[in-house]
Amino acid sequence: MNVKITAIRKANYTDLQAEYENPIEHACDIREGQSWICVNGEKPGDFCQSAWESMEWFVKELAAGGGNFYDGWMKNPHSALISCNDGFRPVSFLLETMDESTR
């Protein structure tokens, strides 16, 4: 089963960046509303590796027909809300299985 990943919120903690982060040349390019399709539970080619590592297990479980994580955590049992592990500019992603009518 295919899984759609949608970036639904991107935070930017400038106070934490100023206090703790070394200046970096390139930060996250992900935009709110951007989406990707995972075919057979595989990472989309242009998807952030760090974000993928935060959600890979959930994507693979959903792709295999699993869900209902943490006994009813999500209203839709075939979805999950996962954030990447960037503490300075975290992105929240909605993972949803896709049925035949949405492919």
> Is the pTM of the predicted complex or chain greater than 0.85?
yes
User: How many domains is the chain built from?
Assistant: 1
Q: What is the mean pLDDT of the segment spanning 10-18?
A: 95
Rounded-to-integer distance, Cα 12 and Cα 32, Å: 12
Q: Which domain holds residue 66?
A: 3-102
Any bridge partners for residue 38, and if so which?
Answer: 3
Distances from the Cα of 72 to the Cα of 2, 76, 78, 98, 100, angstroms: 21, 8, 10, 19, 24
For residue 78, give the DSSP letter: T
Q: Per-residue pLDDT tens for 68-103?
A: 999 999 999 999 999 999 999 999 999 999 975 443
With a cut of 50, say whether residue 35 has pLDDT above it.
yes
Specify the length of the chain in residues.
103
**Quick one: what percent of the chain has pLDDT higher than 70?**
96
